[in-house]
Structure 1
Amino acid sequence: MKNKQLCVKQKVVKIHAYKDFNLLTKKILQSCWQGLINFLIPSEEPQVRQRVTRQGDIYWEVYDPATGKYFTSGSEIEMRIWIEQLYR
């Protein structure tokens, strides 16, 4: 019985590792693709990204290529206000 439980646990661990690897690979490819697009088609519009910390907290990063300014906030409202103030 212990052998079967160990075998099942090992398979579950392998499946989770495989899913994590696929997720990581997908994120890396998305990031590379977005970087290539940004390089080939530069934009003067603010670039907004929603990020997640290792603890699972969501925060916002904004970059304005026209001014070279960066802004980071844990609040979507603060991020929107910062963008609006750029264009007043």
Structure 2
Amino acid sequence: MALNSYSLTNQNKASASKINIAQAVKTALANKGRAVMQFLSARREPVITQRFDLQGCPYWEIYNPATQQNYYCLTETEVLIWLETHYR
């Protein structure tokens, strides 16, 4: 009887181990899939926002998601020049 009990216990452990490995692979693939979807759905175009300083003068903030940096321009012409140099 002890031999059969030992054999079943090892089979149960082996099955549990396979399930744990399968679950780990499934979780890893799901995480990678989420990362890929976030990358593909991420904004790649610059975000341009008109702002005003304390004196009420306008300026433009450009956020570049590719570099994750902000740039500031005092005129619309500067914004256009920035766009032409960075996004052609």
Higher radius of gyration, 1 or 2: 2
Q: TM-score, normalised by structure 1?
A: 0.48
